[in-house]
A and B are shown apart, each in its own frame.
Chain A
Amino acid sequence: MKDIIIATHGHLSYEFKDTVELFVGKKDNIRCFGMTKEKANNAAQKELTEMIGDSDEEQLIVLTDLMGGSPANICAELLMEGHRFELLSGLNLPMLLTLLTQDSNGISAKELVGNILTEGADGIIDIGDVIRKELIDND
């Protein structure tokens, strides 16, 4: 099982974990980081570095909410320093669900990341447009 860190602004990461557990049940392999407004950048850096330092980086996938935001920036710096985990931004529920439902010992973190990106993008749909087209087809 992969080691997962969700790192976001505010309490979003904790809510992501709670919400995804509605679908797949309790998950012990998810840890959360929240960049709350009272947290200084140094403290955030220290906290994330420790969380990542505690993991087997071959098996670690870090999911962040926003490219250019602090959680993503801090983790990107760690990669530049030579750390070797997988790092993604733009987290949505389809991405997290794909990760949790497809994860197994038989799939590498890299391969899993490919599927996460595909499903994450496929989950963004203009539903209004789909329905409008269906309704025209049915006429």
Chain B
Amino acid sequence: MIKLVRIDERLIHGQVAIGWTSAVGANTILVANDEAKNDKIKAMALDLAKPSGSKLYIRSVEESGPIVEKFAGAKKAQVMVLVRTIGDALVLVENANGAIKELNVGGLKFEEGKHKLNDFISVSDEEIEQLKKISSKGVELDFRMLPHDKKETLDELLK
């Protein structure tokens, strides 16, 4: 079962390992990220950061869509899927064959050239278009840093 699909530039960190894992009851983490898949050091760092007792899979963004689809039908695995960028999330959604119904957008901190939507979400023009595309595929967007935060929608943030 898919418990959470999240965009977070830091992938696994304290708020995810502690806050989200326990709130959604995840026992499996799928990191869909090309860099981590191809870089042993990054993969090792993720493995160190994962919550104790959870299983971690690191796969490329491209190959992760079908994996998410498979996990959606799994009974024992309670899965949290993490991607680093909105662009990666779009690819994931497009390849998951409708298995992703909801997408949590968490930490995307401000960088030069991006629009600051709130304290933890900044996006480029291209990313706004990508978000709209994701939304048009019937995926509900949920902007929240932590589980107990109030859910915000894209429309609310773009106001």
Q: Report which A residues bind B (CB closer than 8 A).
A: 22-26, 97, 101, 122, 127, 130-131, 134, 138
Contacts and interface: CB of A to CB of B under 8 A. Distances in A.
B120 to A, nearest CB: 11
B74 interface: no
A101 B19 CA distance: 8
Interface of B: 14-15, 18-19, 22, 40, 44, 48, 52, 146-149
Given A101-B22, A134-B44, A138-B40, A22 B15 contact: yes
A25 B149 CA distance: 8
Looking at chain B's contact residues, the main secondary structure is: helix
Contacts of A26: 148
B52 A130 contact: no
Contact of B18 (A23, A127, A130, A131): A23
Contacts of A138: 40
Given A101-B18, A101-B22, A138-B40, A25 B52 contact: no
24 contacts: A22-B14, A22-B15, A23-B14, A23-B15, A23-B18, A23-B19, A23-B146, A24-B18, A24-B19, A24-B146, A24-B148, A25-B146, A25-B148, A25-B149, A26-B148, A97-B18, A101-B18, A101-B22, A122-B52, A130-B48, A131-B44, A131-B48, A134-B44, A138-B40
Contacts of B40: 138
Given A23-B146, A24-B146, A25-B146, A127 B14 contact: no
Nearest to B52: A122
A22 B19 CA distance: 9
Contacts of A131: 44, 48
